[in-house]
Amino acid sequence: MGETVTVQYESMAIRGHGPAAISVQGLSKQFGGTQALGGVDVDVAAGSIHALLGGNGSGKSTLIKCLAGVYPADTGTVSVHGRILQASEISPKVAAAANFRFVHQDLALFDSMSIAENFAFASGFPTTKLSSIRWQALRDKVATLLEDYGIAARPTDEVGALRPSEKTMVAIARALADQRGGEYTLILDEPTASLPEDETRELMSSLRRRADQGQTIVLVTHKFREVEEVADAITVFRDGIVAGAGNARDMHLGQVIEMMSGVQAEPPGMAPEPSAAVESFRAQPSGEHILEVRDMPVGPHSAVNLRVGWGEIVGLAGLAGSGRSRILRSIFGDVAAAGGNLVLKGKPYVPSSPRGAMARGIGMVPENRSRDAAFVDMTVRENSSISVLGSYWKKCFINKKAEQTATQALIDEHSIRTNGTESLVSALSGGNQQKVIMARWMQRSPDLLLLDEPTQGVDVMSRREIYASLEQLVSRGAGVLMASSDLDELVDVCDRILVLRNGSITGEFVPSLMDRSQLAAMVMSEDTDHRSKIKEGK
């Protein structure tokens, strides 16, 4: 990285299909002594896909919550198709009346209910004069919407049986169910954060079609690849301000990173991919294995065989439901392995519990950090030290001073952006929460680290810092087994990638010898029975 610079960009005319649908002017929001937004201006053209980019904690999510009425803004105005609203007066009811429709990462769908029932819970059940539900009318309406949005499903299908991208499209169709023309503004908060590549492309294609038909879409994302594919315009946030904006076709990745970080980027055409910084630390495995997995059942009719060498990063690629997460959780003792033989550091290993795995030198960063890893109501110090808490016991008391000193060292080493060791983890951005969890394990110097979607929902700069932590780990000879739906991440980080389908390893990809497109082809060659049955009405 070069030295820090002050980055300024002139406002550019933004390509769209009409006049501004939304014009945010001078919007600011302060929490206590922290300025979350400082006089933000954003213009979204009607009938366009406008991407909001920025690091975790840059202000883009705060802007969305101000538009939704979750947070009252301190100052500023929001013009919606020419109607001016005082930003401080926007409530959820006002936002709905302004035709803002939001779909968050948590889709708020009920898996055990039908698609039609999920629609009705949002907008109400049609009833007769005697208050009985008009089921056929509901199903007919939902069937029309599903066809209109290109969703290959029936109103009576359970939501839990849908693929993730189909669930997202159902949530979008539900949010826009009562739309007339293209007057609504659809605001999506990281809709592809947990989607595999094929489903991400499918969803992005659907959004592009909607925009071409006049739908205005605001897209919050960390994935620059999808921005390049579908966005008309980009606004980049940094430290609560707009660091730059322009037509998506005129902005390259290096320029966006420069805006996000305030650090001079490489010249156009030479900018690295978000994870390219890890190319320099590709491990040189020793030839010996830290872990051997033999015939470990993952599905009812499948078993896995794999090896991880000392100083090696092995990736697990596959579509949703392929068994990636189950392999990691079985090795860590979080779920019971139904059989097989494991050898860890040359000795038999029977995963029985996470405590036992930790005692054998294994650490794990799970996919859902908020549910399974982060203690959000506890401090950074408490979250960091909990994996080595015994080392701070002194005569029946915790040596808090030593704990604080060690935590501050971790904050510095892993570039965790926080107000201090006593800050609540809930106050940190997602990327910084993830770095706290990574630091928790790094201080144990694990021999084997299991990672499940390590950079899901994490911005470009935080990704680089997480990769730097991995560099330190593998440089000491530790092994890493990493599952990720981000194929670019796997190609850049891993020495070998194992491709999974239905709980079985169907291929091995070596990044130094093969092309990324080959990996994509291996991953996408899935069984299409599910889709075929829906289309055939079976």
Q: What is the mean pLDDT of each run of 10 residues along the chain (538 residues)?
A: 38 50 94 87 94 84 92 94 92 92 85 91 78 86 88 91 85 83 82 76 86 91 82 92 91 82 52 39 62 87 89 89 88 86 93 92 89 89 89 82 91 88 87 89 93 83 84 91 89 92 88 84 58 39
Model-wide pTM > 0.75: no
- CA 401 from centroid of its chain's CA atoms: 35
The span from the CA of 18 to the CA of 7, in Å, is: 30
> Locate tokens 């997202």: which residue?
168
- Helix runs in 57-196, H state only: 60-68, 92-97, 115-123, 135-148, 164-175
Q: Are 3 and 264 in contact (CB under 8 A)?
A: yes
> Considering the domain 1-99+181-263 in this protein, what is its CATH number?
3.40.50.300
347-349/216-220 β-pairing: unpaired
Report the pLDDT value the prediction gives residue 286, as an integer from 0 to 100: 53
Looking at the chain, the domain(s) classified CATH 3.40.50.300 span 1-99+181-263, 278-374+441-530
List Cβ<8 Å contacts ≥24 apart for 77-86: 77/24, 77/25, 77/26, 77/27, 78/22, 78/23, 78/24, 78/25, 78/27, 79/20, 79/22, 79/23, 79/24, 79/25, 80/21, 80/22, 80/185, 81/21, 81/46, 81/183
Residues 6 or more apart whose CB falls under 8 angstroms from that of 29 comprise 35, 36, 37, 62, 66, 71, 73, 74
- CA 453 from centroid of its chain's CA atoms: 8
Report the pLDDT value the prediction gives residue 397, as an integer from 0 to 100: 84
> Considering the domain 278-374+441-530 in this protein, what is its CATH number?
3.40.50.300
20-31/341-344 β-pairing: unpaired
